[in-house]
């Protein structure tokens, strides 16, 4: 995401001294029946769907990001 994720501008050389790295591991995904079957800040979530052109799309949201963003 630092260079190729269209949601974020590319990193600059000036930002390098202030960067840090972390790793989040999401495991044991479970299917749910209701979109409210998860707790913000506790669970990550992976969304999969087929768009109007028939292409499969996925998105993964980490628990700490959801909590930070409210």
User: How far is the C-alpha of 14 from the C-alpha of 40, rounded, in Å?
Assistant: 33
Tens digits of residue pLDDT in 14-66: 999 998 888 888 888 888 888 788 888 888 888 889 999 999 988 888 888 87
- pLDDT score of 3: 60
- pLDDT number for residue 18: 93
Report if pTM > 0.85.
no
Q: What is the pLDDT of residue 6?
A: 74
The pLDDT, as a whole number, for residue 9 is: 83
CA atoms of 50 and 48, how far apart (whole Å): 7
Q: What is the dihedral of CA 53, 28, 65, 32, to 10 degrees?
A: 60
pLDDT of residue 4: 65
């Amino acid at each position: 995401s630092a260079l190729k994720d269209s949601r974020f501008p590319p990193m600059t050389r000036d930002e390098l001294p202030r960067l840090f790295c972390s790793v989040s591991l999401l495991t044991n995904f479970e299917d749910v029946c209701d979109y409210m079957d998860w707790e913000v800040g506790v669970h990550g979530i992976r969304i999969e769907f087929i768009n109007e052109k028939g292409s499969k799309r996925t998105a993964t949201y980490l628990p700490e990001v959801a909590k930070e963003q409210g």
